[in-house]
Chains A and B, each alone.
Chain A
Amino acid sequence: MEIQVLFSLPLIIASFFAVFMPVFDAILKKNKQIIFLFTLLNFLLVIVADIFIFASPEFFTGVLKSGLENSDFGKFLSDAVSLGGYTSFFDLLFAIAGILTLFAAKDYLKKESYELKEFYSLVSFSFAGMLFIAHANNLLILFLGIELMSISFFVLSGFFRNNILSIEASLKYFILGAFATGFLIFGFAMLYGATGSLELKVIAQKISFNQVTPIYFALAIGLIFVGLAFKASTFPFHQWAPDVYTGAPTVVTGFMSTAGKTAAFAAFIVITKAIFLSNLVIDNATVNPPVIAITRNSREILAIIAALTMLVGNITALMQTNVKRMLAFSSVAHAGYILLGIVSNNSNGWSGIVFYAFAYVFMQIGAFVIVSLIEKENGSNLNLSDYNGLSKSHPFLSASMAIFMFSLVGLPPFAGFFGKYYLFLSVIQSGYLWLALVAVIASIISIYFYIGLIINMYFKEKEGEPLTVQCKTSGISIILSLIGVIFLGIFPSLLMNPLLNLFK
């Protein structure tokens, strides 16, 4: 029992802070510093709990224990969350993304004079939602987690409530996000109808014994993938992403496009682990019942979507002049890379996704923190030409930006290289060689605009006066991101080996 309490500590801590943060807000009326420290404490406690979980001897033997099996919570929620195992790595990932965002947000909100304490509550809510997505073992918990995260993001993207760009981003995100939710839960309803249960374990069993109604099952897969593709901004449902990511406050964009996207892919993993038959079953099947045909076809479709997402994201990013918009399109392309892990549908693919998500959090949030520092009030100073000559006036910022860009391209020895390497390898191993080739071509296209920014910073002269940058706490985020990008690039196996063990 004690080990189950330890394993569920991250969820307990995150829920506690999410629930009580508005209360703290009310008690500590004007003191933003303490609210900031509380939120930081939330993330740090989750990280500490995770370190204890990693150190516990049951971590590798008792993977994915369900917490409430023998308790009095009743039959319905007896198997609602899965604990330990790879989900703990997701906790760690979201907490790191939260810390990086928090330090950058303090500077940025002060600069834009929007330092309201509600920001910290909203970040805590979305953090709790993300944890519940990663831990979900029941369609209801998955739905609640996705909604908790999305609704907080709708508000966060409209956080500059007197800025029309921010409001527009919020409106677009709200309409399309709620639209996607409709598809997602209609898919859940169909899955419930096809299998007769909301528990993912039971659903997986029913599917592997071929006890499902094929028509509802096919509808369920289609609708759920449309919903999740919206949330993860993959082609052809990516059009909202550039608008929302450009209009939202820059630190929020950093948080949404990394942690939010990773959470969407965590939902993808949770769902596809249950509803996709493993490769072994498909290969050994002599007959071709409808369920196997549906699974095989939907993986083919996902492969095509992944290829198009990578190409469309990178090619559109070539034409952008606004840095935030360019990074937004590149984040669409990165969603395509991560989708490769779902297509390969084995332990290599899933652990590749988690590794890539770690690398992506460090490099993308790092890049967005620098963009937020360069940005001036009301969203000006965001063009590529505004970065001209940055290496002369701010050598540290431009050097870190260059490292993040190299990592986003996927050059060794940075984390992005190994992330791409593991994902491409997994997709080749499961027999999609053409997809890996497309991914390599897409990465080559992406070199042009990432390196273009570096050329602007290092080889072009700035006209007019050099800009002043106020960097206090943001420096911590940049340095942490740099450490992450370089550390994961030099010692990738430290993260990859435990992941491969856990997904087996």
Chain B
Amino acid sequence: MNNIPLEYYIALSGILFTIGTLGVILRRNAIIVFMSLEIMLNSVNLAFISFARYLGDTSGEIFVFFVMAVAAAESAIGLAIILALFRKKQTIYVDEVNVLKH
């Protein structure tokens, strides 16, 4: 582990974050958008863990637990919203939900 420089981990987490960002922007299926959001949060976790490891400081690792808990809460709310949308409109495609556009 010590032979791999910190920059590699941060670069990997940056790539994951970019994949997540592109997924949110480009995909129209709400579930896929949702998964991309989770990828973004997990890339943050990776960055925190590798910084914590290389700084020799535990607070970054503690932060990761909180991020995971918040991500779980967020997924519960997100799935509930998607469910409410499907009940009302029988679709989960984000671009078909455009009543509010003027």
Say whether, besides A151-B73, A185-B41, A167 and B84 are in contact (CB < 8 Å). yes
How many residues in A have their beta carbons less than 8 Å from beta carbons of B? 42
Assembled-state Cα–Cα distance A164/B91 (Å): 12
Q: Which of A170, A197, A320 contacts B57 (CB 8 A)?
A: A197
Contact of B84 among A158, A175, A193 (CB under 8 A): A158
- The answer, yes or no, to whether B94 is at the interface (CB within 8 Å) is yes
With beta carbons under 8 angstroms apart, the residue of A151, A189, A193, A246 that contacts B74 is: A151
Q: Which residue of A lies closest to B51 (CB)?
A: A193
Partner of B77, one of A140, A154, A168, A193: A154
Asked if B100 contacts A140 (CB within 8 A), the reply is no
A198, B48: Cα distance in complex, Å: 11
Give which listed residue, A143, A178, A181, A192, contacts B60 with CB less than 8 A: A192
Residues in B with CB closer than 8 Å to A174 are 77-78, 81
Within B45-76, which residues are at the interface with A (CB < 8 Å)? 47-48, 51-52, 55, 57-60, 62-63, 66-67, 70, 73-74
Total A-B Cβ pairs within 8 A: 122
A-facing residues in B78-97 (Cβ within 8 Å): 78, 80-82, 84-85, 88-89, 94, 97
Contacts known (A165-B99, A192-B63); A182 close to B44, Cβ less than 8 A: yes
From DSSP, what is the main secondary structure of chain B's interface residues?
A: helix
Per-residue A-contact encoding for B18-42, CB less than 8 Å = 1, 0 else: 0011001000001001000100110
Q: How far is the CA of A190 from the CA of B24 in the complex (A)?
A: 21
Bound form: Cα–Cα A192–B55 in Å: 10
A171, B102: Cα distance in complex, Å = 17
What CA separation (Å) do A228 and B69 show in the bound complex? 21
Contact residue range for chain B? 35 or more
> Which residues of A sit under 8 angstroms from B84, Cβ to Cβ?
158, 161, 167, 170
The interface residues of chain A lying within 8 Å CB-to-CB of B62 are: 76, 140
B97 lies within 8 A of A140 (CB): no
| CB-defined contacts of B52 to chain A, threshold 8 Å | 192
Q: How far is the CA of A320 from the CA of B100 in the complex (A)?
A: 13
| Contact between A198 and B102, CB atoms less than 8 A apart | no
Considering the chains assembled together, what is the distance between the CA atoms of A223 and B64 in angstroms? 18
Taken together as a complex, chains A and B put the C-alpha atoms of A182 and B70 apart, in Å, by 11
Name the CB-closest residue of B to A223.
Answer: B17
Are the C-beta atoms of B51 and A192 separated by less than 8 Å?
A: yes
| Contact between B55 and A185, CB atoms less than 8 A apart | no
Task: Say whether A189 contacts B44, CB under 8 Å.
Answer: yes
Answer whether residue A68 sits at the interface, using C-beta atoms and an 8 A cutoff.
Answer: no
For B10, the chain A residues whose CB sits under 8 A away are 193
Q: How long is the Cα–Cα vector from A168 to B96 in the complex, in angstroms?
A: 10
B100 contacts A168, CB within 8 Å? yes
Q: Are B100 and A247 in contact (CB under 8 A)?
A: yes
Chain A positions within 8 Å of B98 at CB level: 168
Would you call B66 and A182 a contact (CB within 8 A)? no
Interface residues of A in 145-185 (CB under 8 A from B): 147, 151, 154-155, 158, 161-162, 164-165, 167-172, 174-175, 178-179, 181-182, 185
Q: Looking at the assembled complex, report how far the CB atom of A153 sits from the nearest CB atom of chain B, in whole angstroms.
A: 10
A145: min CB distance to chain B, Å: 11
Minimal beta-carbon separation of B35 from chain A (angstroms) = 12
User: In angstroms, how far is the closest chain B Cβ from the Cβ of A221?
Assistant: 16
Q: Does A359 contact B (CB under 8 A)?
A: no
List, in ascending order, chain B residues with CB within 8 A of A322's CB.
102
Seed contacts A174-B77, A182-B17; 11 additional CB < 8 Å A-B pairs:
A143-B63, A147-B73, A154-B78, A165-B99, A168-B98, A175-B33, A178-B37, A186-B43, A192-B60, A196-B57, A322-B102
11 A–B pairs (Cβ distance < 8 Å), ordered by A: A140-B66, A144-B70, A151-B73, A161-B84, A168-B85, A171-B97, A178-B37, A192-B59, A193-B51, A193-B55, A198-B63
Chain B contact residues, CB within 8 Å of chain A: 10, 13, 17, 20-21, 24, 30, 33, 37, 40-41, 43-44, 47-48, 51-52, 55, 57-60, 62-63, 66-67, 70, 73-74, 77-78, 80-82, 84-85, 88-89, 94, 97-102
In the A-B complex, list the 6 residue pairs whose CB atoms are closest, starting with the nearest.
A182-B40, A189-B47, A193-B51, A243-B100, A178-B37, A147-B70
**A interface list, Cβ under 8 A from B:** 76, 139-140, 143-144, 147, 151, 154-155, 158, 161-162, 164-165, 167-172, 174-175, 178-179, 181-182, 185-186, 188-190, 192-193, 196-198, 243, 246-247, 320, 322, 325
